[in-house]
Structure 1
C-alpha cells in the first residue's frame, strides 16, 4: 500500500518536500492567505489556496489574484478550477510565474455554483476532458501538478481509481481523494476503504480527505486507506493550528498547543491580516465566517462571550471593537465563571 511505500522517508510531491503528513485543505471562502500562513507556521505539511477560477485568473481579476496569494508561504500550492484545458494551462503558467511551487487541479468541489458550470466534481463525469486538462497543465509548467477529486459523481459512477490512474499516467505527482461522492456532499461518513483502492492502484502519494479531525482519526484514516498523508478541512476552521498538531502526532514529535492567550492572538492576527489583504470594508465582511468559527471553538472549550457580545463580534464594522472582543473571548472560561 502507498502508506507503506512512503513511510520512513521524507514525503515529497515530485521534488518538493512536505513538512509533515497532514495537509490543510483548499476551502472556498476560507483558505485565505492569512489562514494558510498561520496553519503553515504551526507545522502543516502543506497548505493549499482556495480554488482559483482559471479564466478569471488569466484575466487578472482582483478576486482571483487575492485567492492565489502566497506571500510568506513555502511551498506555495495554488489550486485551479475550470473546464477549458487551454485556460487551465495558461492559468498554471501564470501561477508558476507568480511563485507557485505546486499546481493542484480541482476535480472535487461539489458546490452547485461550480458543478453548474460543469467544473469541479462535475468533471468526473467527463473523464476524457478531465484527462485532457491534466495533460495540458502538466505540459504547461515545470512544477509538480497534483489532482484533487472525489470518489465519483454518485455511487453508480465511482471512477476515482480509473481517473486517478489516468492522471498519474499523464504526469500528476500526487492525488487527493475525498472519501465521498459529489452527490453525498458532506453527508454520511467518508469511505476510507474506497480511498484505499486508489492508494493501492498508484505508485505516487495519495492524500486521504474526509472526516479527519484529530490525531486519532488521522491514524485510523491512514491505517484504513493506506494513504501517504491526510488532508484536514472543516476541522481546521477556527483552530488553524490543528493541522500542525496532527502532523506532529503522525511524526511522533511533541506539539505544544497554543495557550488561550495565544489563541486570542492568532484570531486577532488572522483578522488584521484579512483587513490588510482585502481592505477594511471588504475584509470586515470576509472575516465574519472566521470570527464565528473562533467564537464557536472557544465556546466548545468552555470559554465564550455573552450572546449580545457575540452578535456584536460578528456584525460590527469597527476593528478596534473586534480586537477587544477577541481578547475577551478567551479571557475567562465560562465554566469557571459560572
Structure 2
C-alpha cells in the first residue's frame, strides 16, 4: 500500500483567505488508523459553507485549515480493517467524516446528529489532530464515511451531491416527497438546484421553484420545475398561491426572510423545512401562521450514511443532470471569489490539476 504521498492543499491562515488569499502548501493529516482510507482527490465541490468557515462567520475558524467537503477521488491507501473499500476504488466523502457509532442516534441512522461528530474540515479528532478538507491532493479519514460512487455517476456530479445533494435529499425523502406531494423549493442556487432535481427524481407530483426575481425562471424550468414564483414581482403571491403546496424546503436564510408568507403557501398539515444556515437570526413570525393549518416547522442537517448511499444510487439510476461549473483546482482562489459574488450556475466543482 502506497504511503509516500505528500498532503498538500489550499491553506487558509486567516479571514482574508476568503478574498482569494488561500496559499498552496503542505500540512500534517491525522494519524493513519487501521480503519482509515487515503483518497487521491480528483474533484471537490465548492460549498457555501466553505466561505462561511473561511470567514469565521459561524464560529472562529481553527486556522490554518483546508476547506472542501464534497470530495471524490480514488482510494490510494486502505487500512487493514477496512472491508468495504479497496485500493483504486472511486469513492467520495461529504460533510461528516466521523461519529461515535455507539449512541442511540448512530444506531438509528441519525449519525449526522451524533454529539461526537467530526466534520470533514475545521474540526479536531479526539487525539487533537486536525481534520482537513478536499481543496487538496489527498484526503484522509474514516472509511465508515467514505462511499463507493456508482459507475454511472460522473465524478463531477457525485461531488456536490455529497453535501448539496444530501442536504436537500434528506428532508425531501423523510417528508414524503413523491407522487402525492406538491413540493416548493425556495432559493435557486447551489442547494435549490439539487432540491429541484432530486424532487423530480423522487417523482414529486409538482415542483415549484420560488425565488425573489424571475431571473432564474428559465433555468429552474429546465431543471424540471413545473412552475415558478417570483416573490418580489408577484407581490400578492402569498394569497394567490395560498395552500398550494404540501412541503417546502427553504435553502436560503437572512434577517428579512418572509417566513409567514412562505408558510401561507402550504396546505393543511403542510411541512416547512429550513435548510439555509444563517449568519443572523431568522425573523420572528406569528404562531397563528402555524396554528391555522396545522403546519409543521423543522430543520434538517445533511443526512445519514444510509440516505447518502440511497441518494447516490437514485442520482445514477435517474441520470441526474446537475448544473455545475467545473474549474481547475489551481484556480481555487478565483473560484472562491466568484462563488462569493454569486457567479456560480449553480455549483462550482474543482477538478484536480495539481
TM-score range, shorter chain: under 0.3
The structure with the largest strand share of the pair is 2
Q: TM-score, normalised by structure 2?
A: 0.25
Bigger helix share: 1
TM-score, length of structure 1 as denominator length: 0.26
